[in-house]
Structure 1
Amino acid sequence: MVALGVYFGFNHFYPETVQQKTQQVTKKKQPAKKSQINLVALGDSLTQGVGDQNKAGGYVGMIKHSLVDKDHVQVKTANYGVAGDTSTQIDHRLQSQAAIQTSLKKADVIVMTVGGNDLMGVVKKDMLDTNEKDIQVAQKSYTAHLTTLLGHVRQYNAKAPIFLYSIYNPFYVYFPKMTKMQDAVVSWNTTSQQVLQQSQPSHFVNICNLMSKSSVLTKPSKDSSGGSSSGSDKKNPLISTEDNFHPNVTGYRKMTQKLYTSMQQNQKEWLEK
């Protein structure tokens, strides 16, 4: 009772002192944030933005706008995406082009797309009857090549977080029973994720299910005989109709949302001073 009376008495005569101390304890100091960041994108056609009908650079241009609008930070981007590049070709450009090296040194964020062309080099020979042994051999080589590529990236920047997109199966909607292809994509992504874990800080942005299985079933048109017209009724609303392979502008928006979410979850790695 005596202790309780002393507490309330102190609080009565010195209310501001108690309140101030409480605020000091509960109020956390907000970390200082950068006013501008450098985002470097390195990779293949997905980084280049192939399939984007707006010709705005795919996810690279979109993530810039998202960060500027939502995080109120100025963003300088450098896009080093080249359609058709494999992991070894991306690595060759990195080692031979001073512009890429300079950009990486200044990067606060590094975003990459790699691996799709490595896999397609194996399966495109006979997509419906892919040899599992060939895939395993290619996957082993890809593991070594990706390890080398990420190692070279880290030579120029050891601190910036790397956000690596997964690959996806653009043919899933049209050939859902082609399980070898889907299994190969999933296995390829597992390899990428495992290799990426060796280059911290890093984050795997998985878009496999999003881009592979986002399908709608359109109503088949009727021909003059009353039967369905020829052609596939299934379409993936996130894939370009020009090549049925790359994302369209909607697909890139979905990819960007995935990237933005991952970046927000790890904001302290790239935005805090």
Structure 2
Amino acid sequence: MQQRKVYLIIASFLLAIVIGAGMIFAVSDKRATVTNAPSEVVPIEDSATESTEDILGKSEDTDTSSEIKDAFQRLFNDTIGLFIKEDLHITAIGDSLTQGVGDKTDKGGYVGILQRTFEQTEDRVKIDNFGKRGNRTDQLLKRMEDPVISASLENADVVLITIGANDIMKVTKDHFTNLDYEDYSKAMPAYEERVKEIFQKIDSLNPDAEVYLIGFYNPFEENFPELKDQLGTIIKEYNSIGEKIAQDEEQHYIETADLFQNETADLLSDDYFHPNEIGYGKVAERVLESIKPVIQEEEEDEE
């Protein structure tokens, strides 16, 4: 009975987040509904080179946090000396974490941070962002049929994915009045099949692409400690599914849970769920570090 009560609290809270986020980001969602239109795909090509100070100054227009400046500086430093592959193409697909919901600068979250960092190099890097708030695995699979998204995937060197959090939300909403851990457990096999299908669909479009599934974190650790253990277990198991599939498909998994551990109060946006600019900066750093081996041009052997 006590466990059932805990899951009812979880259900109530998650639904409150869904409703609240829907109101806060209504304008953002309207724009997101057309992300698969050609006009929404913004490649990074032939952009004017800016200094690090210019980029940092732009971020200060909306937030003067030294932590944001530090994140940009670390990312910029990480790109110095990198011989990035010519005409590198990165495609990002998934949910609100790809779209960048929670980023008050409205510059695309971790994907936007990577984009602005690559603009500092002299290499031609193209990034397509098809993140859409609320996407579940089944919805992402349908969106991958879109000609614009599939064409981008076909030409991508690197594919970045965030997906899964809304699948957990759906279980919560579907069993709101009688929620139990078993409801999440029963949904896991179907979730596993859909994630596997996402990887396989990308492989069928582009067998040469390097695919990175980005894990999700527990946003309730600090702000809502009473939900920490129960939701932490659920999130960990869903992440484990994604990690295993990535390994089975000989692709990549990027852990992010450790980045937010004991720091959610500082790294989350006002909805207590999505990252803020600083949180997205940490994700961007982790992603860049993970993809470095595949975005660098192989050095020619000296004769």
TM-score tier by shorter-chain length is 0.7 to 0.9
Structure 2 counterpart of 1:219: none
> Given residue 196 of structure 1, which amino acid in structure 2 is its aligned partner?
A
> Given residue 90 of structure 1, which amino acid in structure 2 is its aligned partner?
L
The question of whether the paired residues in 2 share the 8 Å contact of 1:88 and 1:149 is answered with no
CA distance in structure 1 between the partners assigned to 2:179 and 2:290 by the alignment: 34
The question of whether the paired residues in 2 share the 8 Å contact of 1:196 and 1:203 is answered with yes
SS at match of 2:208: coil
Structure 1 counterpart of 2:266: 237
Displacement of 1:130: 4.9
CA distance in structure 2 between the partners assigned to 1:33 and 1:180 by the alignment: 43
Aligned counterpart in structure 2 of residue 256 of structure 1, from 284, 295, 303: 284
Displacement of 1:244: 1.4
Structure 2 counterpart of 1:49: 100
CA distance in structure 1 between the partners assigned to 2:105 and 2:161 by the alignment: 21
Say yes or no: does 1:270 pair with 2:299.
Answer: no
CA distance in structure 1 between the partners assigned to 2:216 and 2:179 by the alignment: 18
Structure 2 counterpart of 1:139: 188
Number of residue pairs the alignment of both structures matches: 216
Aligned counterpart in structure 1 of residue 137 of structure 2, from 68, 83, 87: 87
CA distance in structure 2 between the partners assigned to 1:138 and 1:50 by the alignment: 26
> Given residue 211 of structure 2, which amino acid in structure 1 is its aligned partner?
I
Displacement of 1:125: 6.5
Say yes or no: does 1:63 pair with 2:88.
Answer: no
Displacement of 1:196: 1.1
Residues 140 and 134 from structure 1, CA distance in 2 versus in 1: closer, same or farther, beyond 3 angstroms? same
The question of whether the paired residues in 2 share the 8 Å contact of 1:161 and 1:270 is answered with no
Say yes or no: does 1:196 pair with 2:246.
Answer: yes
Structure 1: 4+ residue segments shifted above 6 A: none
Deviation per residue, 1:152-189 (Å, 9 max, x gap): 11111111211111011212212224311110001111
Displacement of 1:126: 7.5
CA distance in structure 1 between the partners assigned to 2:233 and 2:173 by the alignment: 15
The question of whether the paired residues in 2 share the 8 Å contact of 1:238 and 1:251 is answered with yes
The CA RMSD over aligned residues, in Å, is: 2.3
Say yes or no: does 1:247 pair with 2:298.
Answer: no
Say yes or no: does 1:36 pair with 2:95.
Answer: no
CA distance in structure 1 between the partners assigned to 2:199 and 2:262 by the alignment: 29
SS at match of 1:255: helix
> Given residue 283 of structure 2, which amino acid in structure 1 is its aligned partner?
M
Deviation per residue, 1:185-235 (Å, 9 max, x gap): 0111111000111222x22111113225314xxxxxxxxxxxxxxxxxxxx
Where structure 2 has 5 or more consecutive residues not aligned to the other structure, the ranges are 1-82, 299-303
> Given residue 138 of structure 1, which amino acid in structure 2 is its aligned partner?
A
Structure 1 counterpart of 2:197: 148
Residues 126 and 175 from structure 1, CA distance in 2 versus in 1: closer, same or farther, beyond 3 angstroms? farther
Structure 2 counterpart of 1:6: none
Structure 1 counterpart of 2:18: none
Structure 2 counterpart of 1:114: 163
Displacement of 1:72: 4.3
Q: Give the alignment's TM-score, normalised by structure 2.
A: 0.66
The question of whether the paired residues in 1 share the 8 Å contact of 2:161 and 2:214 is answered with yes
CA distance in structure 1 between the partners assigned to 2:149 and 2:84 by the alignment: 26
Matched-pair identity in % = 30
> Given residue 238 of structure 1, which amino acid in structure 2 is its aligned partner?
L
The question of whether the paired residues in 2 share the 8 Å contact of 1:33 and 1:272 is answered with yes
SS at match of 1:59: helix
Deviation per residue, 1:38-87 (Å, 9 max, x gap): 11000000101111111111111111233343x64221111111100100
Where structure 1 has 5 or more consecutive residues not aligned to the other structure, the ranges are 1-31, 216-235
SS at match of 1:77: strand
SS at match of 2:186: helix
Higher percent of residues as helix:
2
